[in-house]
Amino acid sequence: MPATIRDVARASGVHISTVSRTFSAPHLVNPETRVRVLACAEDLGYRPNRAARALITGRTHNIGLIVADIANPFFPPLIKAAEGQARHRDYHVFVADTNEDPVAEEDLVHALAKQVDGVLLCSPRMSNSLIEQVSREVPVVVINRQIAGLPCVMMDVGQGARAAIEHLLGLGHRRIALLGGPRGSWTAREMRRAATAAARGGGAELTVLGPNQPTETGGGALAEQVRRSGVTAVLAYNDLMAIGLIEGLDAIGARVPHDVSVVGVDDIALSRLTRPKLTTVATPTAAAGRTAVDMLLQLDSDAPRGARGRGAAAGDRRTTAQVMLQTELVVRDSTGPVPAPGRDGTGA
């Protein structure tokens, strides 16, 4: 028969309420007593009932993590890091995938709201106003988008795009394409803003192609258009698109980087396995996952017990806390000097 809270109280010589506090609010229990209670619980194989604890504390010790596309290799390192950080804090993570659908995203937030203490929205596709609205129902931390008044963890893709364009300019490229990401993407907007400024500053012409699906197929479908445009270098929204583009260019006889240089974003594992190895902007996805969990739990600990973001109490939880994590250009084999004028149909 499983051990109960009464068994632990009897074995450790304390009241049942002390055992309860040891698990729900350990900082309120004398350290010596806490150690003794935990040791007895371990010896007896006692595990607290999370559902019962939630009724007392108003907290479930569950977190929702909603991602745009779980099949995209960008997300698993973030998910893994978030789960590890949550587990360290005695929280569980429920992961959900929206398949790039803002309607599904909203539905998932509403479905999770009563089952979790907060939600991490990673690369959301909902509008800012809708995200602000759902944040009144459940605490939200946004990853990869900046929204005034909400806690956000961002990766500085603007700085990364600038570094990528400057790298291409240094190789002599003056006709560059930017492959845009999905419609409504904050990352795509930041990349376009920074890439446009960097290209203009270097006297280069930037051609924007998009919006596009942020997939390998989406990148491959643009190969013909890239060649017809006469550009000699491309910055893609992410590594998947860059890899798809390289495959598409190869299929029509264009060599990377001899005819077209290609840069991706994210530094997923596949970027080191492609031929040529992909030059890319590394994004700190694992750090973003850990930081977002810490930010959400801080937000939750500051809330009144039982409020959980609903009604007027939600205003107490709104914050300007925002973190920007640095990106880094990783130069590999998919970028090279601008082709000689007129070589192999580059449009010169």
Question: For the segment 95-112, what is each residue's pLDDT rounded down to a tens digit?
Answer: 999 999 999 999 999 999
Q: Per DSSP, what are the bridge partners of residue 179?
A: 209, 236
Condensed to tens digits (0 to 9), the pLDDT of residues 36-93 reads: 999 998 898 887 766 555 545 567 889 999 999 999 999 999 999 999 999 998 899 9
The pLDDT value recorded for residue 20 is 81
> What count of other Cβ atoms lies within 10 Å of the Cβ of residue 174?
16
Contact 296, 221 (CB under 8 A): no
Answer yes or no: are the C-beta atoms of 135 and 113 closer than 8 Å.
Answer: no
Residue 168's pLDDT is: 98
The rounded distance, in Å, linking the Cα atoms of 116 and 54 is 10
Q: Which fold has domain 156-281?
A: Rossmann fold (3.40.50)
Q: Which of 299, 306, 284, 325 is nearest to 63 (CA)?
A: 299
Q: What is the pLDDT of residue 301?
A: 67
- Which pLDDT value is given to residue 316? 46
* Cβ pair 322, 308 in contact under 8 A: no
pTM (two decimals): 0.82
Length of the chain: 348
CATH 3.40.50.2300 residue spans of the chain: 60-153+283-300+319-325, 156-281
Q: What is the pLDDT of residue 25?
A: 73
- For residue 236, the one-letter residue type is A
Strands of 119-122's sheet in order across = 92-97, 62-67, 119-122, 140-143, 152-155, 322-325
Residue 19, C-beta contacts closer than 8 angstroms, at least 6 positions apart: 5, 8, 9, 12, 37, 41
Report the distance separating Cα 133 and Cα 324, nearest Å.
Answer: 23
Positions of the chain with pLDDT under 70: 49-58, 300-320, 342-348
Predicted local distance difference test score (pLDDT) of residue 153: 98
- For the segment(s) 60-153+283-300+319-325, the CATH number from 3.40.630.30, 1.10.10.60, 3.40.50.300, 3.40.50.2300 is 3.40.50.2300
**CB-count exposure of residue 191 (10 Å: 0-12, 13-18, 19+):** buried
**Conformational region of residue 11, where left means phi above 0, alpha means psi within -120 to 50, and beta covers everything else:** alpha
